[in-house]
Chain A
Amino acid sequence: MNWLSQNLHIVWSLLLDHLWLSIVPIVLALVISIPLGWLAARYPRARTALLTGTGLLYAIPSLALFIMIPAIVGLSARSPWVAIIGLTLYGCALMVRGAADAFGSVSRETMLAADALGHSPWARFWAVELPLSGPVLVSSLRVMAVSTVSLVTIGAVIGISSLGTLFTDGFQRGIDASIITGIVLTVVVAFAIDAVVLLLGRLAMPWQAAVRA
């Protein structure tokens, strides 16, 4: 506690770094995965290509990915964008399959009904496919969000600051409290973001609760 009270401002600023390094990739990965998942759900060929690709991408250790990214896109090795790009890729690797399953879970009959009513493909996507894929989409978003929050810490070993910095600093200087603070805060952030996703999901999908009741 003593350590924490003396280092509150550092912890606070690392927490903010961590939040932004988590939220940006989570949002980006979600936005990218939705169209890719839709393609994978509708076109078998795209499915094979996308799922194989994301599966292999996912097999690459995140530390290795963080190290390769500067060489590929020409960033400085310690730029926070390295983590953002890496985690976005990772998030997509996790999410594209989930999004494909989500769009695959929309019943054919309902889509047929939507067509028969005269939805244009664009209207059908927004009014029918996206909302109905919502429940599965949200559950894979939750997995992705929690993983991302935890993975942000890895960047610390190559100098990208986040709550992970509390691990590397704490280890080098032999301060347990620093590491424990980092672990606890990371878990808290993960669960907080998870709760926000869950809540937003409930607000966006009122029919779920109504039908369950």
Chain B
Amino acid sequence: MIEFAAVRKEYPDGTVAVEDFSLVVPSHAVVVLVGSSGCGKTTLLRMVNRMVDPTSGTVSIDGDDVRAMDKVQLRRSIGYVLQAGGLLPHRTVADNVATVPVLEGANRREARRAALGLLERVGLDPALGDRYPLQLSGGQQQRVGVARALAADPNILLMDEPFGAVDPIVRDQLQEEMRTLQRELGKTILFVTHDIDEAFALGDEVLVLRKGAEIAQRGTPAEILAHPADEFVSRFVGAGTARRTLSVREVDGRRIVVDGDDRPTGVLAE
């Protein structure tokens, strides 16, 4: 469980990234922070592993204030996935995945062997282990990033726009696989994105954020779609647009779902 209690972040130059934010991320849940760039969502994420320290308020994990913990140890105990994987370009894929166990003093050879297993787990051929990150496609790099975050078997995963740099088809695939993985692993995941579709696809719970990390609405994807709290959320989720207003039409005895422009988007499952 991650808890934010009235955190605020103000930079020395006076910019306020986070005004006053409180949230409990329950264990084993996926909570998605969604908002446009500069809304403070990444700042919030980084408070968890102390890449950023709040100006006031506290962040705690399972009741323990993170500020009481050693930064380096804290970070090694939390999986972190960055945009484009954030892989170390000078290390092979296997070494990248094995980074944290090796930092923790694990035997290098064993850590590499375990890394190959993790690669398989995220859908990669273990033979890629000897390649360097730049020899991989964007989607593959992203999977390596996930494998690396899982390497030390952390309870918590922080994901900062992890699928932002790949094309839409690969992104859909990665999201799908992440859901499968999460069903098996049940990690506590805090996920940041600017893509509302991604938020709806992955989140058990979604928080739509305004500037200064002010919570515009919080709820399950269904709740937010059904009752956008205000004009801002409604516009953010695209409520009322052709893409979101679906209706059902009967065609040759099957029920087809069409959007507001009468474009078919699917078939209703019976």
List chain A positions with a Cβ less than 8 A from chain B.
109-110, 112-120, 123, 127-128, 131-132, 134, 205, 207, 210-211
Contact = CB atoms under 8 A, between A and B. Distances in A.
Contacts of A114: 88
Dominant secondary structure of chain A at its interface with chain B: helix
Given A113-B86, A210-B135, 17 more contacts: A109-B83, A109-B84, A110-B89, A112-B82, A112-B86, A113-B82, A115-B51, A116-B49, A116-B80, A116-B86, A116-B158, A117-B75, A117-B99, A128-B90, A207-B92, A211-B132, A211-B135
Nearest to A209: B132
Contacts of A207: 89-92, 132
Contact of A131 (B84, B90, B134, B158): B90
A117 B131 CA distance: 20
A117 B103 contact: yes
B189 interface: no
A112 B103 contact: no
A128 B135 contact: no
A-B interface, 6 closest residue pairs, ranked by CB to CB distance from nearest:
A113-B86, A118-B76, A118-B75, A116-B80, A211-B134, A207-B90
A211 B100 CA distance: 24
A114 B51 CA distance: 11
11 contacts: A109-B83, A112-B82, A115-B51, A116-B80, A116-B82, A117-B80, A117-B99, A118-B73, A132-B88, A207-B92, A210-B135
Contacts of A128: 88, 90
B132 A117 contact: no
B80 A119 contact: no
Nearest to A135: B90
B268 interface: no
Nearest to B152: A118
A118 B72 contact: yes
